[in-house]
Amino acid sequence: MKQTLTLLLITTCTLTAVSQSKTKTPDYSKRLSGVEKELEKVLEDQKVAGYSVAVVYKDKVIYSKGFGYRDVANKKPVTPNTLFAIGSSSKAFTAAVLGQLEKEGKLKLDDLATKHLPSLTFKYDYMNTGITIRDMMCHRTGLSRFDYSWYMFNTGNRDSLIQRVKYMEPNAKLRQKWQYNNFMFLAQGMIAEKITEKTWEENIRERFFKPLNMTHSNTDIFATEKDPDASLPYALDEKMENKKLDYYNINGMGPAGSINSCANDMANWVSTWIMGGKFKGEEIIPASYVREASSSQMVVSGGQPGAHPDIQFKNYGLGWFLESYRGHYLVEHGGNIDGFSASVGFYPSDSIGIVVLTNQNGSSATEIVRNILSDKLFGLTPIPWNADAKKAQEEMAEMLKKSENSKDTLQVKNTKPSHALADYAGLYGNPAFSEFLITLKNDTLFTTIAGEKAWLKHYHYDVFSFESTDPEEQQEDNEKFLINFGTANNGKIESASIDMNEPGKSTVFERRPIKVNLSGDDLSKYAGDYELDGVTIKIYLKGTTLMVSVPGQPDYETVSVGNDTFDLTLAKGYSVKFTVENRIAKAVTFVQPNGKFTAKRK
């Protein structure tokens, strides 16, 4: 028995020694030796202007480098401190503020969202009484993206943006389906603003930038623009050449994605997550929240692994995507905004973090670089990520070339609009989005959408295409962005439908009256009694609003649309037009779907 016990002890000691040998920390820096050649190849093959990289092991940066140019024309190189917009990689910051507030006892993640933000109202009662903060954090509210609402109708007014939510139609039941929605992260930022009585920008700066020594980071694209080490934004044109874009200001939607940072600063951010929420020994993010945020809260997509069997599930935590990368648990979030792309992630079980920031619009280079680095760090047989992506791009380019040479099968040739161009001019709006004005100038219709001026080119019937006023931005026929005008029973243009990328249908923008502000003196000439077939109709002033009173009906408010014409605000398709002589109205014509009726002043 004694000999057996001794043998067991020896065996146990031997196994322990082997286990300790196997778990010895690899020399990660050595594994990255010579990686520059591959990363330069990505720069070349993916036609990227520039990018920066940082690799972290636990609380130390083991690799940090810039590639290419932050300013192509002036050959200014990217450095590890070059500023890039990180887009939606900002979401983890916003959600982490709420994680801190939960530990401070200011809220619970399973509280109703409307409890902490009364200005947030959803379309249906079950949403108002069911959607929690956690639901918003992991994109399971039943709302689809509605990105065109904030992107094409941009505003810096967060109160105005959040009001659009109550008009958004859900396309799935609560917690039934994962659907990305930036408005839900705007709401989280506003909840933090209300509780802390500080702006989202102040919360991010005071709670993360300062304690994490993120000295180059900011939340304002205009501050980035003035920074001497800021990158310019770029996109590939049809010749696969980098074209400089304008910076896009999304400060209104800031909590969803307006942080600008550099590789070295973001290294401190991912290190904090790797270290369980601590930076230099001090807790910045509660450890309990770190575990929750980096754990699966909602399935993003089901199904078995695809082309790479060792890249498996795709779930979402709280402001983070989660997946298994070749046997290693990855917590990551990408980011895209005009001219910039980002990938920020970490492998918690391996204590490795990787940051890739680039100045290319919608770039796949961030994921390619992250995967190349991951394969090297983990000593895996490399997958030709860059070569595969290049081949896919070439195949796509060939397919696009063929489609450019093919005819547009949608367009019906030799048709005409049903109305004179002037009839399409007007104000169109949808409460879940915003409104846009179409004007007529020199026989051409113009509008401004997504901050850019465009003209409307007749496509067929009552369908027009948005065309850029910049000749270099002209679209191919098979890529047209179309607007379809609708007609009311009275023959007038009453709406415009645009594909706003929402599932199942186009978005209808109803025609709205263009308000003309008139003073009480201007309006007084219309007030009086008018007779129509023996019935007296009273037109009177209520403050500075012209009212119409018809016996047996409620009084109607009107809004001036110019040219002595007023629309009835609560009766769509109804208006009154006055005949004015010598600055006094002599008659009023009621214009309605069933005809026109004129009443003379008594």
Q: What is the pLDDT of residue 473?
A: 60
Q: What is the pLDDT of residue 306?
A: 79
- Do 242 and 383 lie in one domain? The reply is yes
> Within a domain: residue 354?
yes
Cα–Cα dist 292/270, whole Å: 16
Q: What is the pLDDT of residue 242?
A: 93
Domain that holds residue 547: 520-601
Q: What is the pLDDT of residue 20?
A: 40
Instruction: Name the pTM for this structure.
Output: 0.85
- Do 220 and 320 lie in one domain? The reply is yes
Please give the residue that has the higher pLDDT: either 380 or 571.
380
- Do 323 and 343 lie in one domain? The reply is yes
Strand positions, DSSP E, 226-363? 234-236, 242-244, 260-261, 278-279, 282-283, 298-301, 311-316, 321-325, 328-337, 340-347, 352-358
SS (H, E, C) 433-463: CCEEEEEEECCEEEEEECCEEEEEEEEECCE
pLDDT in tens, 458-474: 999 999 999 988 766 65
pLDDT in tens, 188-247: 999 999 999 999 999 999 999 999 999 999 999 999 999 999 999 999 988 889 999 999
**Nearest CA to 136 among 171, 177, 188, 88?**
188
pLDDT in tens, 1-28: 344 333 333 333 333 333 444 456 788 9
- Do 72 and 144 lie in one domain? The reply is yes
- Do 458 and 343 lie in one domain? The reply is no
The top-scoring range by mean pLDDT among 26-35, 368-377, 398-407, 466-475 is 368-377
- Do 175 and 276 lie in one domain? The reply is yes
pLDDT in tens, 44-85: 999 999 999 999 999 999 999 999 999 999 999 999 999 999
Which whole-number Å values give the CA distances from 510 to 81, 157, 449, in the listed order? 48, 23, 16
> Within a domain: residue 387?
yes
Q: Torsion angle, CA of 102/107/109/112, rounded to 10 degrees?
A: 180
Q: Contact, 456 vs 447, CB < 8 A?
A: yes
> Within a domain: residue 588?
yes
> Within a domain: residue 547?
yes
pLDDT band at 274; cut points 50, 70, 90: very high
Q: Please state the rounded mean pLDDT for residues 374-392.
A: 93
Q: What is the pLDDT of residue 353?
A: 98
- Do 447 and 567 lie in one domain? The reply is no
Paired with 235 in beta bridges are 243
374, 393, 412 - which closes a domain: 393
pLDDT, the chain, mean? 91
Other Cβ atoms closer than 10 A to 483: 26
Q: What is the pLDDT of residue 455?
A: 96
Residues whose CB falls within 8 Å of the CB of residue 347, separated by 6 or more in sequence, listed in order: 325, 328, 329, 330, 331, 353, 374
> Within a domain: residue 311?
yes
- Do 508 and 526 lie in one domain? The reply is no
Cα–Cα dist 166/143, whole Å: 11
- Do 94 and 111 lie in one domain? The reply is yes
Cα end-to-end distance, the chain, whole Å: 123
Query: How many domains would you assign to the chain?
Result: 3
357, 373, 393 - which closes a domain: 393
- Do 493 and 595 lie in one domain? The reply is no
pLDDT in tens, 567-584: 898 877 788 999 999 889
pLDDT band at 299; cut points 50, 70, 90: very high
Q: What is the CATH number of the domain that holds 156?
A: 3.40.710.10
Q: What is the pLDDT of residue 471?
A: 64
Strand positions, DSSP E, 60-103? 60-71, 76-77, 84-85
Q: What is the pLDDT of residue 595?
A: 85
- Do 59 and 145 lie in one domain? The reply is yes
Q: Please state the rounded mean pLDDT for residues 519-538.
A: 92
> Within a domain: residue 578?
yes
Q: What is the pLDDT of residue 408?
A: 63
Q: What is the CATH number of the domain that holds 550?
A: 2.40.128.50
**Nearest CA to 326 among 270, 363, 370?**
370
DSSP letter, residue 368: H
Counting Cα atoms < 13 Å in the Cβ hemisphere of 513 gives 21
Q: What is the pLDDT of residue 480?
A: 81
482, 512, 542 - which closes a domain: 512
> Within a domain: residue 478?
yes
Paired with 595 in beta bridges are 592
Please give the residue that has the higher pLDDT: either 394 or 274.
274
> Within a domain: residue 154?
yes
Cα–Cα dist 439/450, whole Å: 16
Q: What is the pLDDT of residue 543?
A: 87
Number of H helices, E strands in the chain: 18, 31
